[in-house]
Structures are given as C-alpha cells and as structure tokens.
Amino acid sequence: MTGRPLVQLPRLAGQSESEIFFEALARNDAAPTGPAAIAPIDDGSEELLARFVGELAAAFGSRGELLAQRGRILPGARDAVRALAALPGVVQSVLTGTIRPNAVEKLRAFGLDGYFDFEIGGYGSEVYPKGAQLMRSKSRAAEKYGAPSGEVSTVYIGDSTRDVAAALVGGARSVAVATGRSTEGELRAAGAGMVLPDLTDTSAVLGAIRLLVMPSAG
C-alpha cells in the first residue's frame, strides 16, 4: 500500500481495522507524505484507507473457505441469535472493528448472516470510536425502521471492557459476556448492565436483554 516494509507491528487487540492501519502507518513512518504517497496526510488519508479496505477485503475473501475449516462459533451463539431474531420488534446488527465485507463473510461462514441487518451496523472501515459508531447505528436503525431515535432501545452484546465503554458513550445498555479477554469482575467494574459467563443459556441471554429493556419485567 505504501512501498515501505512493515517493520513495527501496531497493537491489534481491541483495535478497529482503521485504527490498526493508521497506527501501522505512524509506527513505520509511512504516512502519505513521502515519495510513495498519494497526497498529504490531511487530503490523502481517507483515500489511502479506502484502498487498504479494498485490498483487505480481497485478501480475506480469497481465503474465505478457511473460516469454516479453522474458525469456530462460540457455544450458544447460534441459538441466541436465532432466539433473538424470533422476537417481535427486534433487529440485530453488528458493531465491530472488522470491515463490513469481512464481517459479513465471518457470519456467512457459519450460516448466521441472514439474521443481521448489515446496513445499520458499524464497522472498522469507519474512522470513529465505537461509541460514536453506536450512536450512528441507532440513528440509521431509527430512520430505516421508522421509529423516533429516542424510542429505539439498544442493547449491545460484547465481550470486552471497551465494548462496555462504547455502550455507555453511545447511549445503549450492555450485556457483557466473559468469553473474551475481560473477566466477569472487570466487565462489572466497567459498568456493564448485565454480565454472563457465556452464551450457552439462551433463556439467560433473553432474560438479560428483557431486564435491560424493560426493567419492570424483573
């Protein structure tokens, strides 16, 4: 993408693809200002990111068959997604650091893509913090489904303290699942609305969401 070798690796954990990309540029002195640049950083960064996203999607797509072979779906995730999709008035989408084409490929590999509305989601190709992406997703959902944004109840299911923080910033309730790097205690301390050890108990997942959306149900 830049004509420079990747010598210093950026941080990967918890980072979106755009964050990883721009950190890699900075760490490797490859910002678009040198001989291989297409434009000064203020004018060319978005175009360079767009080129990177295209290359990343192509590379990922060429290895798509490996997802089902080497990837895995967390226990209970499929049942939870199906159960939520069956509830009236529920729309599921994704908020992820992965770029949109690759997020779709990941879910398609396990037969889950049909349960999500990808148009209203937030992705790693967008240069916004997750909290801001969540607010944008809420607005997209309200516009698409004809509901005032103030009447859209949003629950963000994630597995990290960063996800919990994004929910707080984005005005959403959060169900934190301790299947990632964050422990149950860390997720509670971060301010998660509900904390689950995993997704294996579908009724617990649905119950947690109901309690957050309709507290009187408890």
pLDDT tens digits along 123-161: 998 888 889 999 999 999 999 988 775 667 899 999 999
Distance CA 123, CA 19 (A): 11
215 pLDDT exceeds 80?
A: no
Q: Are residues 93 and 149 in the same domain?
A: yes
The predicted pLDDT at position 38 comes to 38
Q: Are residues 24 and 87 in the same domain?
A: no
Residues 176/164, Cβ–Cβ less than 8 Å: yes
Residue 89 lies in a domain: yes
Beta strand pairing call for 194-196 and 155-158: unpaired
Residues 190/176, Cβ–Cβ less than 8 Å: yes
Residue 9 lies in a domain: no
Residue 198 lies in a domain: yes
117 pLDDT exceeds 90?
A: yes
Q: Are residues 145 and 113 in the same domain?
A: yes
Q: Which domain holds residue 184?
A: 71-217
Q: Are residues 82 and 182 in the same domain?
A: yes
Q: Are residues 25 and 127 in the same domain?
A: no
Q: Are residues 56 and 156 in the same domain?
A: no
What is the DSSP code (8-state) at residue 35?
Answer: T
Q: Are residues 22 and 83 in the same domain?
A: no
Distance CA 121, CA 96 (A): 8
169 pLDDT exceeds 50?
A: yes
pTM above 0.85, yes or no: no
104 pLDDT exceeds 80?
A: yes
- Structural domains counted in the chain: 2
Residue 6 lies in a domain: no
**Confidence band, pLDDT 50/70/90 cuts, at residue 32:** low
165 pLDDT exceeds 90?
A: yes
Q: Are residues 32 and 90 in the same domain?
A: no
Q: Are residues 152 and 183 in the same domain?
A: yes
Instruction: Tell me what the mean pLDDT of segment 60-77 comes to.
Output: 91
Instruction: Tell me what the mean pLDDT of segment 171-198 comes to.
Output: 96
Residue 4 lies in a domain: no
Residue 3 lies in a domain: no
**What percent of the chain stands above pLDDT 90?**
60
Q: Are residues 76 and 56 in the same domain?
A: no
Residue 1 lies in a domain: no
The predicted pLDDT at position 34 comes to 43
**For residue 155, what is the enclosing H or E element?**
strand 155-158
**Confidence band, pLDDT 50/70/90 cuts, at residue 214:** confident
The predicted pLDDT at position 11 comes to 80
Q: Are residues 155 and 175 in the same domain?
A: yes
Instruction: Give residue-wise pLDDT tens across range 33-42.
Output: 543 343 344 5
Q: Are residues 76 and 132 in the same domain?
A: yes
CATH number of 105's domain: 3.40.50.1000
Residue 5 lies in a domain: no
C-alpha angle 7-9-12 in degrees, rounded to nearest 5: 165
